[in-house]
Amino acid sequence: MEQINEIEIVVNTFLQNLGIWLKLPMQAITALGYEEFFVLLLPTLYWCFDQMVGLRLGLVLLLGNVTNTFFKFLFHNARPYWISATVENYTHERSFGLPSGHAQIAASVWGWLAVEVKRKWFTAIATLIIFLIGLSLLYLGVHFLSDVLLGWVLGGLLVWAFSAWHKPIGDWLRQRSLTIKLFLVLLSTAIMIGLVLGIWWANISWEMPQEWAALAGDADPYNLKGIFTLGGTWMGMLSGFVLLSFSRGHFLAGQGGWRRIVRFLVGMVGVMIFYLGLGQVFPDQANFISYVLRFVRYTLIGLWISWIGPLLFEKMSLLKFKEQEA
């Protein structure tokens, strides 16, 4: 793979030679694939437009991140600026390069949004965004062409698989008891974390080549914080949705006029309390206790978004639930 990467550097250097004036536009385009962007988008959809669309998009985002982490750990491949001083790193990344997380998440999330919207004009815009995000990653020096292509393939496969299976699985789950549903949430969380920990353990003796380390800067490619973040969010979001559906049913996210803006603002204050508040209290180190507390922190964020927040909105007369059938 390293020999192929050395050839692919030509693509990165060609794009960077187009001029430094492209740096800011490319960084702006890349932001459309950042997790922070989707952290704002998902609660907006879930609380203020369509609860189920927000849930499905959240599942696609989390599944995409988990699979990307797994394959990054499996391939443990360098980034362009790690192996060549001729490539400028216009943005810094600490993880492995193959496959590109930005390209994969862009393809899966924007691809799934196109499936949900079902409008040709939106599909065209989503496709353009996916392409431009991939192009920006090459210009910024953080990914090889093969990283981006594999990211697009994995993102597209996830959209296809989710489109084919989410309805049959959802229909099957609706027939199960609350206990079974919560057990399956716990089991799926354990499988996600276990798969990534397994591939990490299999490569525990791996060390970054000195020539990579000399150029990579502050890289920590086998950092485990991400999988506990993802696992906690998955656990909290899905268990919260299950509990809310069991006790109150589904809410009318698309109704409320100005109340939609208020519940978004109130909801995001809650997210920030858990995210920033607990982030200041809990230790942030590479050890068992820190990982457990990170998992707890993101579980609480997921519970807030999918369960606690909507119940609070109802108490504040900002949200209505559908009438449950007798």
Question: Using one digit for the tens of pLDDT, what is the confidence trace for 7-36?
Answer: 889 999 999 999 999 999 999 988 877 767
Predicted local confidence at residue 304, as pLDDT = 96
Work out the average pLDDT over 123-149: 95
Question: What is the pLDDT, as a whole number, of residue 324?
Answer: 61
Q: What is the pLDDT of residue 35?
A: 67
| Alpha carbon separation from 219 to 80, 187, 214 (Å, rounded) | 13, 32, 10
> How far is it, in rounded angstroms, from Cα 220 to Cα 117?
38
Banded model confidence at residue 236, pLDDT cuts 50, 70, 90: very high
Omega before 99 cis (within 30°)?
yes
pLDDT band at 274; cut points 50, 70, 90:
confident
Residue 1 pLDDT: 67
**Tell me, what's the pLDDT at 37?**
76
Please give the pLDDT value at position 2. Answer: 65
Is it the case that residue 244 has pLDDT exceeding 70? yes
Instruction: Using the predicted structure, report yes or no on whether residue 326 has a pLDDT greater than 50.
Output: no
> Minimal CA–CA distance to 309: which of 276, 258, 281, 274?
274
